[in-house]
Chains A and B, each alone.
Chain A
Amino acid sequence: MVELILGLIGLTLLLIGAFLEIMGAIGMTRLQGFFNRVHAATVSAIGGSVTPLIGVSLLSLALEELGIRRFYVAGNSLTAALLILILAPAGTHALARAAYKSREVLKNFVYDALEEDKRGLRQ
């Protein structure tokens, strides 16, 4: 009974993650400009990697046929999911900050609050 519930929750998380990963991949291919693609990359990193890794961890607990070795998959997937949850936004933020300061990336913003802060225009 417990295996059935774990398997169903794991399959649901896996399917949600696959959908978000496809959406992030389409966005990465189709969106224009670097700062729009950051959004697509974050959708595919958090929605498309953390969710299915937790799902794989639950699914491997539900598979009895792997024996005692199924805890390898479960533990490693859960650890990787937590690490991605912490490290992917930090890395993407560092990259976006470097891209904002560089001159290569085209910056056609609608509103640039950081530039106004730098000039001291904003109250």
Chain B
Amino acid sequence: MDELITRVVEVVILLYLVSAVMFLIRTVKGPTIFDRVLAVDALSYDLAVFMSLLALYLGEPLLAVSVVILTLWIYTLDIVVSKYMEYEKVSI
């Protein structure tokens, strides 16, 4: 069972790397700033799963601790960018 889990996690890590490259293409190419922020969002959620899988694969559980904080920062990025583009200022 452990061997099967390791093999599947290897394949899934490769798939997440491929999709990260695709999101990166959209981040560079995106015509407006909204497309770029949307692609960075998707890239960061991808990174969260990637770090969690890496913690499982390498046997280093402390790698997974920063995933929660990363998630909160992505939400902050969304809200700050959208409110700035809408009202041209961010008030808290």
A59-86 Cβ-contact flags toward B at 8 Å (1 or 0): 1101101100110110011011001100
Please give the distance in Å from B59's CB to the nearest CB on chain A. 6
Find the residue from B2, B5, B72, B74 having the highest chain A CB count within 10 A.
Answer: B5
Pair B16/A18 contact, Cβ less than 8 Å = yes
**How many angstroms between the C-alpha atoms of A14 and B49 in the bound complex?**
10
* A contact face: mostly helix, strand, loop, or mixed: helix
The answer to whether A29 and B71 touch (CB under 8 A), given A63-B5, A88-B45, A105-B34, is no
A17-32: contact bitstring with B at CB < 8 Å (1 yes, 0 no)? 1100110111011000
Q: Which residues of A contact B70 (CB under 8 A)?
A: 80
Chain B residues contacting A45 (CB-CB under 8 Å) are 41-42, 45
Query: Given B1, B8, B32, B74, which contacts A14 in the complex, CB threshold below 8 Å?
Result: B8
Within 8 A of B (CB), among A27-73: 28-29, 34, 37-38, 40-41, 44-45, 48-49, 52-53, 56, 59-60, 62-63, 65-66, 69-70, 72-73
Across chains A and B, the number of contacting residue pairs, with CB separation under 8 Å, is 184
Known contacts A44-B19, A72-B62, A94-B83; A52/B49 CB under 8 A: yes
- Residues of chain A contacted by B45 (CB below 8 angstroms): 44-45, 48-49, 84, 88
A5 to chain B, nearest CB (A): 11
Size band of the interface chain A makes with B:
35 or more
B92: Cβ under 8 A from any A Cβ: no
**B73 CB, min distance to chain A CBs, angstroms:** 11
| A26 closest partner in B (C-beta) | B22
6 A-B pairs with least C-beta separation = A91-B78, A25-B19, A72-B61, A98-B82, A25-B22, A49-B45
Given contacts A77-B67, A102-B85, 18 further A-B contacts (CB under 8 A): A11-B4, A14-B8, A18-B12, A21-B46, A22-B19, A41-B42, A44-B45, A48-B49, A53-B52, A56-B49, A63-B2, A70-B61, A77-B52, A83-B72, A87-B75, A94-B82, A102-B32, A104-B32
